[in-house]
Structure formats: structure tokens, C-alpha cells
Amino acid sequence: MRDSGTITRPYFFICVLVLFELLHNSCFSISIGGDALSVGQSLYVSERHTLVSQGSTFELGFFNKGTSEYSPKIYLGIWYKNVTFQTIVWVANREQMLSEPSSSKLEFSRDGNLVLIDNIDRNPIWSTNFVSPTPNSTEAVLLDNGNFVVRDVINPSTIYWQSFDHPTDAFLPGAKLGINKLTGKTRVLTSWKYSDDPAPGRFSFGIDPVERNEYFIEWNNSKRYWSSGVWNGDTFSSVPEWKSIKFLNYNFVSNENETYLTFFPSNSSVLVRFVMAMSGNFMLLTWLSGISRNSDFTWLGPIVSRQSQVYAFCGAFGIFRGNLTSYACECLQGFEPISTEGTKLDKWVGGCMRKTPLQCQNGTYTNGMTERFLKISDMTTLPENSKVVPNQSLERCELACMQNCSCTAYAYVSNGCLVWKGDLLNLQQLSNGSNSTKQDLYLKLAASELPKAGGDTMNLKLIIIVPVSLVVLISGGFICCLIKRKLKKIGEKDSREEEKDSRERDSSEDLLTYDFSAHTNAAAETNDENKLERNRKKDVELPSFSFSSVSAATGNFSTANKLGEGGFGPVYKGKLLGGQEIAVKRLSGRSGQGFKEFRNEAVLIAKLQHRNLVRLLGCCIEQDENILVYEYMPNKSLDFFLFDPNRQGMLDWRTRVCVIEGIAQGLLYLHQYPRLRIIHRDLKASNILLDSEMNPKISDFGMARIFGGNESQANTN
């Protein structure tokens, strides 16, 4: 018994090691002697059987994607025979792996179909599933283009089933990617779910089943984020790069039976395939025969150059924070990846989950803490599927989301309040390369997940509060005395300022009763500087009018009195009690110009006197109102005549010459005769006003620039 045990034990361990090696091997590579499998033959996992195409380009067999020999995940597939790194191009049982290596096999059933058996006592987990007219006369052959076919033995041209009709993620030369119009069957590429799981993933590439003239990439069979455009005879309109690939020939066919795309390489030594990748990109991969290295990228589809265009690439509650081409994903604050295993792409398939559930979801409120909102600024892309809550302020928008437990985030944008329920998808915060409008998103989180603004513990707060309180009590009397004296001085100063402001308000002129014929700009220079700008730098001296009188002169800035609107703001026609007409230019809050341009125009025009420059009569500065009052030009501006076919005839050549001469005289005065040279910098037809006699007057000096007498050039913005 001792000797028998001594002999048996080593053989037992040898058998175990062989079995482990069998399970661990990623590819079972013993050919059964050709490219065909006949009725009565079987491919066994345990015996590492394979089929090799006639030209030794492709191999069919079983491969293992398990992480260890104890947990094998075995699939039937096709890969390149001579490429060192195993490159799978087709998988039969991609949705259900084989888990019983000792009894799994591929063979013909009695009805002539190929079946994949996982256990001898179970039903097949995969089958070719066609109706064979002669069950015992079929054979399965692996062709040299990578197509695995079941055909008639006597008549090989009769094909009952082929793998090209059931692609996974790869598009091989000679295959047809499109739609069979008779059966409605479409051939679609679908990415792997994970790098070690060939099950259908998030992204697919296929033809539009309705239009049938272009291809698209789709996320989760619901969201299209890229289209090829229509075929123009050489390539698809949105993919001009395809035409530049000289070693590939494309053929797009559309007839009454089918519509499809196929392609062929011009050089047989180049192995090439298109792949719908896990990254959401449709890419072309090539490999030169005879070189022992992995496939090299030679061209990437239009999506991969802008990874940010791939929809929901980072999964639920994941945010894309890379540049246009990187794979930089992060979970939102308060969230963590659902999966931390696999490659960088595997990590984001499942997205992110909350670290701390919302209290409203489980009905508990610990320590009196409820949910709060975290502001995420500079969002390039907000999530889709939002719900609009109309007529809401920012505060009411927050309240609406807080009161709804299923609400996960909100944003307040120009068109109102947006709220989201459930998962947040397609969040983007690009670091560069985007000119999109940045927006703020408010994410609902458990209060414990928000950044702490104060101390870490209550003890730390007490340590700080107690000594501070003692200091306050001891020095209270002294501080009160100082405050009392300070308040007395401030009160006296405020009284003086109020009296001063009252005098200034009383000094504002009434525009309705003002007689411009009795006042000149020279006389106006003696007025108090405070009339123009009470709380700003005083460097312009003009008659200052009260806002109430300016408003009354223009009919409360009525639409009927509106003459037009420029970059500064709207211009209104006004009328004084004496009958004189004026033009009132009011700075708009939406204007791209501001007080700097307002002051610039007032300074320049107030000090200039020329018959071809518009005359500035006064101004109004009250609170946020900045208004300029001009002489009224009844014939509007030069562009009013130039660009209207019906009014061009009113500008005869005599009038045109007078207008040109007047503009030249005005510019000559600005450039040579003032003490400081003035360059207008915004001279255009709309800034040339015409009086009742069609005399031109240059206006709008908001962009003008002053030069010294010796300056001949300068850099301007």
C-alpha cells in the first residue's frame, strides 16, 4: 500500500497541473487537421481543437477570458492565426460563456445545425439555427477571409449560414455591413462590454434602418451621437478621411434586395479590419503580415479625435474633465466608481454610485442633517433629459429640487429652471478647446459629502469660541466707547454728504424748459463739475439734466419715439416745451460699451466745435442711468439711404459729393486742428448723421482715441 501510494501521488499532481494549464491557456490551439468540420466530428474544449483557414490567415476555436484557472470563461471565436497578440474578430456565444471545459464541444446536431454544448445533459447554449433541407449533407468551413460558413457538401456554393451575417465588433474585408430589405435583418457592430467580456456593450455601429443611406454610432441603442453622412460615390460626406486611405477600396451597394457597405484591401499582405471599440470610437486597425507585433492604429474615425463627442463615455454620474482627445473621467464629488477592476475603459462602463445614500430615499435623518447642493461651475455640457420648471428664480428652482426626492440636480439657465431625475449622463467640463457657454450645475448630495467650511469637530469649535468670548467680554466696555465716538463722526460726515447731494440734485437742469439758444458749450464750462459725475472722476463739463425731465421729453422712452439702436444703446427722439427737437442716447445695461465709452464721447464732443461734427447738448447721470442729449438729425443716418433700394435715388451725385466733402472736412478737423489729434476708429455709414439740408455730421465718439501732437502711430485694441 505504501509503494502504491508513492507511485500514484506524483501522477495525480501531474494530471492536476495539466488540467490547470489547460484552463489557464487563453487559446486552445490544436488543429483537427484542416479548415472544415463535418457531420460526426466535434471540436472539444478539453482537447484544444481548432480549425485553420486554407491560407492560415484565421483560426477558429475556444479562448479563455477568465482571470485564473479556477474561474474559466470560455468562448468560441475566430482570431488571426499569425498575429502574436491574440486578436479576436468574431465570437459565437458572446452572451453566454462556457463554464464546463471537460464536456464543452462544438458539433452538428441531427437537423444539420452547428450547436455549442456546455454540458452533455443541457440544451445547446448557441446554435446556427437555420432550416437545413438535407441535414446530413452539411459541413462547416472557415474561409481565408475570416467568414465561418455552414454549406452544402455536394454544392459548396450553397451557403445555409455564415458568421458575416452575425458580426460582433469587427468588420472584415468582404463582409457586408447593412440591411437585408427582404427579411429586415440588419448587420450591426456592437462593442464588447468589458475587455474580458465579449457580451454586447454600450456602443454600436450600423446603418439607419429607415433612411438606409448613412451609418451612425449609437449609445445604448437609444442615443445617436455621430453620423457618416450620405454616400457621394467615393466616400461618405462626413468621413472624407476614408477616401485618403489609398490601400482600401470601398463599395456601397443599394438595390431592391439589400443595402450594404463592403471594402477590400489592395494589398493582400496587409491585415485590416474596422472595429466598434469600447471607447465609443469606430476605428480602422491594420497589421503587416510577418511582423510579430500587436496591431497598429493607422487611422482613427472622426469621433476618436474628439473623445468628448462620445455620448456618456464616463457613465452615470461620471464627468469628462479631459481635453478633446483624452480618456480623463472622474466621478462627481460624493460618488465612486462602481467597478475598480479591469482596464481604464472597463472602469467607466458601469459609471459611478453614491458613497452616501440620500436620507430622503431611506427615510432617515441622522443628526438633523438633510441633503444639500454642491455647485459645479464651468460645465461645458449639462446632462440631457432635463425637465423645465417655468417661471422660477434660482432660489425657487433649488426648493423645487429639494422637495422632490427623485431630483438629483438642478441648473438655472437663461430659459428658466432645469431639474434632473435619476442618473446624470454626458457631463463634461473640458479643460481646453471649447468655446461653449459655461454653466453651473447644482448636485444634490448627502450633507456629510459636502466640503467642510469650518472646523472638523465640535471640540475644535469650543476651543476657539471660549477664549474669543472671554476676550470680547473683557474688552467690551473699551470697544463700546470707541464705537460710540466713531458713530458720532460718521453721522456728522453723512449729514454733510446728504446736504451736498441735495445741493447737487437741486442744481440739475430741467430739460423741458432749457433754452439751448441762450447757452453755449463755452458758457456751460462754468457749470459745477459735479453735475456730470458725482461719484466718479470729473473731467467733463456739460449741462446736466434730471432723469425725470429727460424721461418726460421722450414720452417715458416710448417705443413710438425710438429712432434706432446701436452698440451704445437705444436712441429716442425728444421734444422740449419750446418746440425744439432733440436726440437722446441711453446707455443700455446689455450694451457691450460702458461708462468708459460714455465718458470718452462726452469729453471729446463737448470740447469740439465744427459744422460737420454732431453737437452734444448735455447729459444725465443719475444712479445707474447714463444719458447723452444731442441735436436732432431729421434725416437720420447715411446708411438709411445707401442700403435701401427705394431711397438710394434721393442721393443724387451733387448730394453725394457734398456728403463726402463734409465727412472729409470733419475728419480733417479732427486729425489736424484740435490741440490733441483725435482718431474716430468707428467711422461707418450708420455713424454719419444728416441734418435737414443733408449736411453730414460725424457722431458716436465712444471708440475714439486721442493722440499727442508728435504721435503718428499707436497700437489699438
Q: Known catalytic residues?
A: 682
Of 315, 227, 323, 316, whose CA–CA distance to 278 is shortest?
315
- Alpha helices for 554-680 (secondary structure H): 595-606, 639-642, 653-672
Of 67, 104, 79, 70, whose CA–CA distance to 27 is shortest?
79
C-alpha–C-alpha distance, residues 654 and 690, integer Å: 15
Of 544, 530, 541, whose CA–CA distance to 497 is shortest?
530
DSSP, collapsed to helix, strand or coil, labels residue 218 as: strand
DSSP, collapsed to helix, strand or coil, labels residue 92 as: coil
> Which residues fall within 8 angstroms of residue 689, CB to CB, at 6 or more apart?
614, 633, 635, 636, 637, 638, 696, 697, 698, 699
CB contact at 8 A, 596 and 602: no
| CA dihedral over 655, 658, 660, 666, signed as positive or negative | negative
Measured CA to CA in angstroms, residue 61 lies from 44, 106, 385 at distances of 9, 9, 44
CB contact at 8 A, 584 and 627: yes
Measured CA to CA in angstroms, residue 290 lies from 23, 54, 270 at distances of 29, 17, 10
The amino acid that residue 365 corresponds to is: Y
Of 61, 59, 149, whose CA–CA distance to 101 is shortest?
61
C-alpha–C-alpha distance, residues 166 and 158, integer Å: 18
List the grid coordinates of 226.
Answer: 455621430
> Which residues fall within 8 angstroms of residue 324, CB to CB, at 6 or more apart?
305, 306, 307, 308, 430, 432, 433, 434
C-alpha–C-alpha distance, residues 532 and 558, integer Å: 25
Of 373, 406, 414, whose CA–CA distance to 390 is shortest?
414
Q: Looking at residue 599, what DSSP letter applies? A: H
The amino acid that residue 108 corresponds to is: F
C-alpha–C-alpha distance, residues 565 and 571, integer Å: 6
Q: Looking at residue 504, what DSSP letter applies? A: H
Beta strands in 593-716 (DSSP E): 616-622, 625-631, 677-679, 688-690, 696-698, 705-707
